[in-house]
Structure 1
């Protein structure tokens, strides 16, 4: 199929406008289009109809925090960056991810005390940087946060010992995200809840949503903590994996850079110990676990991995939804949200093995 063809996806339900409805999706030139304009303005019909076999079509998952996978570490493997990105981008298609932010573990703490000029020296032009984590208690944090925001970069708060007051001050300067809530920050305390308190802070303006990443792999965040976060601030919840280079590797021993890692029972351990060395969760697993742990709706679970991360980055006009004009990046889901296939720009880029009902190109009509 060519990009200029008008595609009609039939026999499906779709997630649109916060609800699941029975409706077709129309795609042309990699975008979701309004069929009324096709009928009444252009007076044309579909070039190809694709029978979705009753699938639920959701926007593709958006991953805001992934450190690597399939043996690639974004913080260490600089010899062939493009190849590393290609390997991970291809691997996560099997888990419904159509967009992601490669996450780099950055510099020693003293770098952040030197102000924004040193940040520029460290990262270069920042042209390819979309989200940065800052510890708000550092002396130069307000200045750095404002400079990042001026450049259209989402500022996240995390890896921090900050009080709630310091977090609220950072939000006033433009911070709008929290990095993996509950992890790498002060634990919740009833007299000073720290960054966790931003979820219910009355110092955050009503029109300023503070989004927060949370790892719902059943290991890094207890199900009760997931429920607390979801019930407190559902519209800000963003599912992330924080996966490391061991993601996607077979069980057994692996040498990842200088670290020997053992993958067993769905976890990655420092070889010879019971010490976890990072997440190897997939986004599709996190979505399912989140829904089960919180008893939320399918819509809420899917939007936590689609619409919310898109809004957190300010790209929700083209990503994270199935609105007219959005990129045609979506996934087919079956019963129990099992992934059937992954599509980017209206092209099938992954099909689950053994899912004959999920045939990517089941053409039932050609114009």
Structure 2
């Protein structure tokens, strides 16, 4: 691959530079001088987005197996996501096996115009049946042997568990020792359960505020445990799942809060009915819901998440970190989520209105019109 050079306001770990970035598959070099990007009209060049919670898009759901994950990776790439975790639903074992087998194949072979699939986020079935949210009711307790079997199908980079379920606290430690990022989610657990899980190696919280016990001043709940103790947590900033005031609270409390889409098959599609695992969900007016009105994932993309964060008052550098760098750091990925020499050339180019102009994935320019 021959090197490409583009110019603009480049966001580096040391701050903004006005200059040029050269890259092939990886970044070869960055030249420029420190500059305030607000003082000129050049494009913004920032790290490609990293989404650790993706169920679907383009009418496809991860649980379909087959080639669905490739279509999902393509539509999210068109919105600036350069790497992602394909996310499963709570489901019968055969459904999870089908999805993970397809995810494993996608990890090994990235197609043209596709975001890099880094592995799986196993969101269930090891959750509390009393806090399903939009998950089908196939919740069950986990065993290390079963998780190890699933790991043979696809890399399990993140796994959501409810720590209050009998046997799960010890399992959190075992999974963390195996290198998995264990997240607390879909839980009725108390503040004390959350603190204990963190002490046993849990690293984050799944879609903070949603599908977990809430904050009360005499019963702080799982939200209270996150706000008081978490270094990392994921949050859906579509402005439907979480009120802007709660987002601002989390931003003040959790140093490396990062954003996910929790996107569904309805992403990028017209209003209508779509599948989310074994559930039928309905997209209407930008939201995705079960028949009873329960929010069921989103239609969010990370370029819109970035604009939402800036709209809430974050500067662009901070917003960029929360849709890219923090997620990379959470997974221990030093070669993604930052624009430095030697890192993968995953980057996006934005105009002055924060609209996408170009997306590069491992140095290859993505066709933003590819469906």
- TM-score scaled to structure 1, two decimals? 0.79
**2:234 pairs with 1:219:** no
Q: Contact 2:192/2:225 (CA < 8 Å) preserved in 1?
A: no
- Per the alignment, residue 326 of structure 2 pairs with 308
Change in CA separation of 1:216 and 1:125 when aligned onto 2, cut-off 3 Å: same
Q: Contact 1:61/1:283 (CA < 8 Å) preserved in 2?
A: yes
Name the SS of the counterpart of 2:296 in structure 1: strand
- Per the alignment, residue 305 of structure 2 pairs with 286
Superposed CA deviations along residues 289-334 of structure 1, whole A, max 9, x for unmatched, are 12212x111111111001011011111x111000121100100001
Shift of 1:352: 6.6
**2:3 pairs with 1:6:** yes
Q: Contact 1:245/1:256 (CA < 8 Å) preserved in 2?
A: yes
- Per the alignment, residue 159 of structure 1 pairs with 186
Shift of 1:73: 1.4
Change in CA separation of 1:141 and 1:344 when aligned onto 2, cut-off 3 Å: same
CA–CA separation in structure 2 for the residues paired with 1:111 and 1:286: 30
- Per the alignment, residue 45 of structure 1 pairs with none
**2:141 pairs with 1:113:** yes
Residues 1-367 of structure 1 aligned to structure 2 (within 5 Å): 3=1, 5-10=2-7, 12-17=8-13, 19-28=15-24, 30-34=25-29, 54-75=42-63, 77-78=64-65, 80=66, 83-106=67-90, 107=125, 112-113=140-141, 115-121=143-149, 123-125=150-152, 127-201=154-228, 204=229, 210-233=231-254, 235-254=255-274, 259-270=279-290, 276-293=295-312, 295-315=313-333, 317-351=334-368
Number of residues of Structure 1 aligned to a counterpart in Structure 2: 317
CA–CA separation in structure 2 for the residues paired with 1:216 and 1:134: 22
Shift of 1:141: 1.9
Name the SS of the counterpart of 2:218 in structure 1: coil
RMSD of Structure 2 on Structure 1 (CA): 2.5
CA–CA separation in structure 2 for the residues paired with 1:262 and 1:200: 32
- TM-score scaled to structure 2, two decimals? 0.78
Shift of 1:65: 0.5
Name the SS of the counterpart of 2:51 in structure 1: strand
Change in CA separation of 1:61 and 1:32 when aligned onto 2, cut-off 3 Å: same
Shift of 1:163: 1.6
CA–CA separation in structure 2 for the residues paired with 1:154 and 1:254: 30
Any stretches of 5+ residues in structure 1 without a counterpart? 37-52, 354-367
Name the SS of the counterpart of 1:335 in structure 2: coil
Any stretches of 5+ residues in structure 2 without a counterpart? 32-40, 91-124, 128-137
Shift of 1:275: 5.1
CA–CA separation in structure 2 for the residues paired with 1:260 and 1:139: 31
Q: Contact 1:164/1:197 (CA < 8 Å) preserved in 2?
A: yes
Shift of 1:62: 0.3
Shift of 1:236: 1.7
Superposed CA deviations along residues 161-207 of structure 1, whole A, max 9, x for unmatched, are 12222111111221111100000001111123222223443xx5xxx
Shift of 1:33: 2.1
Change in CA separation of 1:197 and 1:277 when aligned onto 2, cut-off 3 Å: closer
Q: Contact 1:241/1:279 (CA < 8 Å) preserved in 2?
A: yes
CA–CA separation in structure 1 for the residues paired with 2:251 and 2:275: 37
Shift of 1:258: 6.0
